[in-house]
Structure 1
Amino acid sequence: MRLLEAVASHADGAPAKQLARETGLPLPTAYHLLRTLTHEGYLWRENGVFVLGDAAERLARGGALQNRRSKIENSLAQWRDAIGVPVYFAVYRDGEIDLVAVSDTPAAPAVDEWADFRETGHAHAIGQCLLSQLDEGARRDHLDRHPVESITPYTVRDGPTLLERLRTAERTQPVVERQEYALGTVCAAIPITAGSAAATMAISVPSHQEQRLLPAVDRLRGEVGKLFSSLAFSISI
């Protein structure tokens, strides 16, 4: 790791002897480790100097990705504790609904994903909120691949009804779903957009506590707005 860090500190690469000095390694040990790292793709040797290889670049991207995920998970946990409800974060990526993270507690459990969220976007607030951010063609494409079907007595009945609901939805208002995905649960989702990306934050409560839903989602919306304004949050994951 010290050798990788040393190589990364030189934009144009560095020779083995210099890297050995900088890391305090005996030259034979440095040579052996540099050959191993080169063989594994973490380094590349050209013109007598070592530079970072493709494997090291992938490692760096993975670390950045994990860092962003950790920020998201920490934020969800803070809002979960502050508001007292499960909090969900999802994005629409490559034509599919991707539930990125969920934060709940034993006292306030998340909805059990008993039917695949990707295939039942028409039935839950997360999916409806994401679909509402797409254009008409993208919505129809999604529903062609994942047709509307009733999974509870309250689920929207058909594609045209859902498309009309999405067309008339107020973009600034939360999407509310009552027992369409899971009996005994009501959910609300707020849209989050960054460029061409569609994302959503959502919460859920038991249906007998529905009076908590809108005040909780209003508070969540305020918290999300403060976090975005601090530039501490990224949905590019």
Structure 2
Amino acid sequence: MAQSKPGGVQSVTRALDILEAIDAAGGEQALIEIAAASGLPTPTIHRLVRTLVDRGYLRQLPDRRYALGSRLIPLGSSALTAFGSRSTPELRRLVGELGETANLATLDGDQVVYVGQVPSPHAMRMFTDLGRHVHAHPRATGKALLSQLSDDQVRAVLRRAGMPAFTSRTITSPEELLAQLAVVRERGWAVDEGELEDGVVCLAVPVPSTTALLAVSISGPAVRVDERVRARAVPLLAQVAADLATQLDVASA
């Protein structure tokens, strides 16, 4: 359990401990599991949980377990949108160095949602609708995001979302995607070569934040995103991802 900072309110800290414990457990827990994870006395947990349920931050399931509530969704969405706006200088840095569209994305439920973008100056360029929810499996950003989950969590996401084919290159086998995610975890970056759209390449890197699940990427036509550009892009993406993580984690400290 996190220790309260000087001047902090203990009840607020404890309520946040409960939300974080449930989140870390995959989104739902029984009261006894919350007690074990948070280290708080059961009567204290019960009072806090009832308040969180009343405010919509938790909901009680039919089996009496507790799950994260819908009130958290707009808050998380607003926070990510605000951070997406603040990430613009870093994304511009990528576009200035590489000349291709730069994106910031997160995983919302079982799908990728883009929260930040700076377009390429080229007439032929990639666009992604901010706020739109899309499948993770055919995208480099999706792979970079999924690589931050366990294999069991990835299987659950794929089972719920499905793996439709978008091109002849789209990976539609969970085991094949899991094998590719193992490579992403090892080398630190993901690629989509025509898996979403023929002739388009996307490179993505996970943002190594302890407070948010994010990935940063560039995308462009395969004729421009050649091996020379890729060799330059990966370290730049990694640096931008590290800088964004620092901004996030400092802001939450």
Aligned position for 2:234:
217
Aligned position for 2:35:
none
AA partner of residue 93 (structure 1): D
CA deviations on 1:71-107 (whole Å, 9 max, x unpaired) are 2123212321233111110112344322111111341
CA distance in 2, matches of 1:123, 1:218: 22
Distance change >3 Å, CA 83–CA 169, structure 1 → 2? closer
8 Å Cα contact 2:101/2:127 also seen in 1: no
Residue of structure 1 aligned with 2:95, choices 64, 80, 86: 80
Q: CA deviation at 1:216?
A: 1.8
CA deviations on 1:161-202 (whole Å, 9 max, x unpaired) are 212322343444211111001111111101113226321111
AA partner of residue 216 (structure 1): A
Structure 2 SS opposite 1:234: helix
CA distance in 2, matches of 1:63, 1:134: 23
Question: Structure 2-normalised TM-score?
Answer: 0.58
Distance change >3 Å, CA 134–CA 109, structure 1 → 2? farther
8 Å Cα contact 1:86/1:108 also seen in 2: no
Residue of structure 2 aligned with 1:139, choices 150, 154, 164: 154
Aligned position for 1:208:
223
Aligned position for 1:166:
181
Runs of at least 5 residues in structure 2 that lack an aligned partner in the other structure: 1-75
Residue of structure 1 aligned with 2:248, choices 227, 230, 234: 234
* Higher Rg of the two aligned structures: 1
AA partner of residue 91 (structure 2): L
State percent identity of aligned pairs.
23
Structure 2 SS opposite 1:190: strand
Question: Structure 1-normalised TM-score?
Answer: 0.61
8 Å Cα contact 2:106/2:214 also seen in 1: yes
CA distance in 2, matches of 1:91, 1:143: 16
Structure 2 SS opposite 1:221: helix
Moved more, 64-73 or 183-192: 64-73
**How many residues end up aligned between the 2 structures?**
173
Aligned position for 1:182:
197
Residue of structure 1 aligned with 2:122, choices 80, 101, 107: 107
Aligned position for 1:198:
213
Aligned position for 2:136:
121
Answering whether residue 71 of structure 2 is matched by residue 93 of structure 1, we say no
CA distance in 2, matches of 1:171, 1:200: 16
CA distance in 2, matches of 1:124, 1:204: 10
CA distance in 2, matches of 1:208, 1:166: 25
8 Å Cα contact 1:178/1:185 also seen in 2: yes
Runs of at least 5 residues in structure 1 that lack an aligned partner in the other structure: 1-60
CA deviations on 1:98-140 (whole Å, 9 max, x unpaired) are 21111113416553459x9744211010111111111122211
CA deviations on 1:205-227 (whole Å, 9 max, x unpaired) are 211222212312322323443x3
